[in-house]
Copies of this chain bind each other. A is one copy, B any other.
Amino acid sequence: MRATPALGPEAAAPAGDGPLAWLARHETVVLARLNEFLAIPSVSTRAEHRADVARCAAWLAAELRRIGLTAECLATPGHPVVLAEWRGAPRDVPTVLIYGHYDVQPPEPLGPWASPPFTGTVRDGRLYARGAADDKGQLWVHVAALEACLAARGALPVNVVMLVEGEEEVGSPSLAGVVAAERARLACDYIVISDTVMLSPEVPNILGSMRGLAYFELTARSAATDLHSGQYGGVVANAAAGLARAVASLVDPGGRVAIPGFYDDVREPSPARREELARFPFEEERFASDSGIDVLIGEEGYTALERLWLRPTCEVNGIFGGYIGEGAKTVIPSAAAAKVSFRLVPDQTPERVERLLLTHLASLALPGVRIDLRRLSGSLPWRTRGNTAGLAAARRALRTAFAGDPVGGGTGGTIPIVPELARSFDAEILLIGFGLPGENAHAPNEWLDLETFRRGARAVVALYEELGSRTGRES
Contact = CB atoms under 8 A, between A and B. Distances in A.
A171 B328 contact: yes
Given A45-B329, A229-B343, A323-B339, A316 B215 contact: no
A112 to B, nearest CB: 6
A465 interface: no
A141 to B, nearest CB: 18
A253 interface: yes
Could you say which interface size class chain A belongs to? 35 or more
Stoichiometry, copies per complex = 2
A368 B294 contact: yes
Interface stretch (A21-29, A388-396, A442-450): A442-450
Interface string A300-330: 0000100110010101111111111111111
A16 interface: no
Contact of A325 (B46, B292, B328, B341): B46
A441 B437 CA distance: 50
Contacts of A292: 223-225
A106 B365 CA distance: 32
Contacts of A308: 231-235
A296 interface: yes
B442 A329 contact: yes
B440 A225 contact: yes
B230 A298 contact: no
Given A230-B414, A293-B224, A320 B316 contact: no
A240 B330 contact: no
B293 A236 contact: yes
A313 to B, nearest CB: 4
Contacts of A319: 240, 243-244, 319-322, 324, 333, 336
A350 interface: no
A226 to B, nearest CB: 4
Interface in A229-256: 229-238, 240-241, 243-245, 247-249, 251, 253-255
Interface of A: 45-47, 105-106, 108-109, 112, 134, 169-171, 197, 211, 213, 215, 222-238, 240-241, 243-245, 247-249, 251, 253-255, 291-299, 304, 307-308, 311, 313, 315-333, 336-339, 341, 343, 365-368, 376-377, 411-414, 437, 440-445
